[in-house]
Amino acid sequence: MRCKNFKFKRNYENITNNYLTHGIHAYTAKFIPQIPRFFIEKYTKKGETILDPFAGSGTTLLESFILGRNSIGIDINPLAVLISKVKTTPIEPKKLKKSVIILFDLLDKNLNGDYSVEFPNRDYWFSEGSIEDLNKIMSVIITLSKSGKIDKKTRDFFFVCFSSIIRNSSYADPSNPKVYCSPRMKEKKRNGHKFYPIKLFKEKVIKYSENMEDLFYKTKNNGVKVDFVKTNDTRNIILPKGFKKVNLIITSPPYANAQEYFRNFKLELFWLKLVDRKRLAELDKDQIGGENHASLNYSKLHQTGYREIDSIIKKLFKINRKGAYIVYKYFYNMEKSIKEYYKVLKGGGHCVIIVGNNTVRGVKIPIDKTLIEIAKNNGFKLHDYGYDLIKNRKFMIKRNNGAEIIKKDLVIDLIKR
Ligand SMILES: C[S@@+](CC[C@H](N)C(=O)[O-])C[C@H]1O[C@@H](n2cnc3c(N)ncnc32)[C@H](O)[C@@H]1O
């Protein structure tokens, strides 16, 4: 099959990557809205349903919402679910403006809130001043919510605004997806750099409120729903009540060992109390593509049953047993997930997967080819295949353990037989 260049952006010169609420909160390895838009328009009609089983920050869900389609999201990261919900939940602009006024008013008063949070190395990542201000912001949001002055939608919107300033209120370098204190940040620490979380927070609230207002008018009365799968795990999909099957799946799974979502977002997760230390460790183990596996697992060679990737796993096993296990486990989990996609997709429906090929411990991993093989073995037919060049996207960093920078989005368009 010819490998075509999709050039998604060319189809939609009038929309930007951050239009409406797409720009709310940074998220690692998010795809551009033009990708889901292209397939939603191509394969579905208004009122139909789209599933993104690795929803991340909700790009597919938001595009579906804007285009008048129902959507269902799944993500193991509770921060991703919160961001997705907020980005797809318009708030009536007058009501939001009122809430912002009382929020800012309380922030300007010298209130001593009772919010506090403890987590490992908190005082390494945050200055005393930042901790005080961040506690104050959370106290004010919670006080307003408990007293009934703001509803749940607005409270969650403020939580996401809060989460979006955590990096810039800490000594973790904001230009690196990993929570990492770079030499530049160490220098700031030594010099007693002052952070201004309340100022940053207010700026975000104002900016994101404008985005919310645009979303509200753009999607007013469109009558579609955005829902989430309760298991939060793509390997076990029980569709929400009222949905029997979905018309389209569009998703971008993590790559084998290319991103560590829980390590990247631990500061935000701790500050919002979405996880404690124990839960973070559990989620870290359950995420697909992660590196965190018990050493007992990789003492012996595991095989997937797919010839080409198994010979790569064997080769890796000789160089690095952990690397071999990471690759095996990745495809094992992806096969489990693909079986679930087959189960919930309508006959003749498309399942579009966007991936990139990376290297693990210096060995090239043909993620696209292997996923196609797995999908074919589980009832799908390859309908189309191609790529899109990644330009200027906050995407991958080169890691010292050999995970490579990913320069192309590979597009696998499958159809359920
Ligand atoms: C490449 S990101 C998706 C980004 C998304 N397309 C966007 O635009 O924001 C992959 C997502 O898969 C999620 N993930 C990893 N393992 C998972 C699992 N077992 N079940 C559900 N989601 C999982 C991660 O938390 C991450 O948000």
Residue 392 has pLDDT above 70, yes or no: no
**How far is the centre of ligand 1, averaged over its atoms, from the C-alpha of 342 (Å)?**
19
Whole-angstrom distance, CA of residue 101 vs CA of residue 11: 40
What's the predicted TM-score (pTM) here?
A: 0.95
Segment 301-320, tens digit of pLDDT: 999 999 999 999 999 999 99
Segment 126-135, tens digit of pLDDT: 999 999 999 9
Q: What's the rounded mean pLDDT across residues 264-287?
A: 95
Residue 24 has pLDDT above 50, yes or no: yes
**Which residue's C-alpha comes closest to atom 25 of ligand 1?**
77
Question: What is the rounded (10 degree) CA torsion for 321, 323, 325, 331?
Answer: -150
* CATH superfamily label, 4-90+220-416: Vaccinia Virus protein VP39 (3.40.50.150)
Question: Residue 395: what pLDDT?
Answer: 40
Amino acid at 255: Y
Best residue among 75, 87, 265 to mutate for probing ligand 1, ranked by most atoms within 8 Å of CB: 75
Which has the higher per-residue pLDDT, 398 or 66? Answer: 66
**Which residue's C-alpha comes closest to atom 20 of ligand 1?**
233
**How far is the centre of ligand 1, averaged over its atoms, from the C-alpha of 168 (Å)?**
23
Question: Residue 257: what pLDDT?
Answer: 74
Question: Residue 92: what pLDDT?
Answer: 98
As for ligand 1, residues whose beta carbon falls within 6 Å of it are: 27, 29-31, 54, 56-57, 59, 74-77, 80, 233-235, 252-254, 261, 286-288
Whole-angstrom distance, CA of residue 109 vs CA of residue 97: 19
Which residues on neighbouring strands pair with residue 388, listed in sequence order? 409
Segment 114-172, tens digit of pLDDT: 899 999 999 999 999 999 999 999 999 999 999 999 999 999 999 999 999 999 999 99
Tokens of 192: 């007693």
Amino acid at 3: C
Give, for 258, the enclosing helix (H) or strand (E): none
**How far is the centre of ligand 1, averaged over its atoms, from the C-alpha of 10 (Å)?**
26
Ligand 1 nearest atom to the CA of residue 262, by list position:
25
Ligand 1 nearest atom to the CA of residue 74, by list position:
21
**How far is the centre of ligand 1, averaged over its atoms, from the C-alpha of 209 (Å)?**
26
State the pLDDT confidence band at 396, using cuts at 50, 70 and 90. very low
Question: Residue 390: what pLDDT?
Answer: 79
**How far is the centre of ligand 1, averaged over its atoms, from the C-alpha of 60 (Å)?**
12
382 contact partners, CB below 8 Å, separation of at least 6: 1, 372, 375, 376, 412, 413, 414
Whole-angstrom distance, CA of residue 32 vs CA of residue 18: 9
Tell me what percent of the residues of the chain surpass a pLDDT of 70. Answer: 96
Ligand 1 nearest atom to the CA of residue 251, by list position:
6
**How far is the centre of ligand 1, averaged over its atoms, from the C-alpha of 81 (Å)?**
10
Which has the higher per-residue pLDDT, 401 or 268? Answer: 268
Question: Residue 356: what pLDDT?
Answer: 87
Best residue among 27, 283, 287 to mutate for probing ligand 1, ranked by most atoms within 8 Å of CB: 287
Across the beta sheet with 408-416, the strand order is 4-5, 380-389, 408-416, 345-355, 246-251, 49-52, 70-73, 226-228
Residue 391 has pLDDT above 80, yes or no: no
Angle of CA points 24, 367, 346, to nearest 5° = 70
Segment 352-387, tens digit of pLDDT: 999 988 889 899 999 999 999 999 999 999 999 999
Domain ranges in the chain are: 4-90+220-416, 93-218
Whole-angstrom distance, CA of residue 29 vs CA of residue 38: 19
Q: What's the rounded mean pLDDT across residues 65-92?
A: 98
Closest among 57, 24, 56, 59 to 40, alpha carbons compared:
59
Question: What is the rounded (10 degree) CA torsion for 105, 109, 113, 118?
Answer: 90
**How far is the centre of ligand 1, averaged over its atoms, from the C-alpha of 46 (Å)?**
26
Whole-angstrom distance, CA of residue 75 vs CA of residue 27: 13
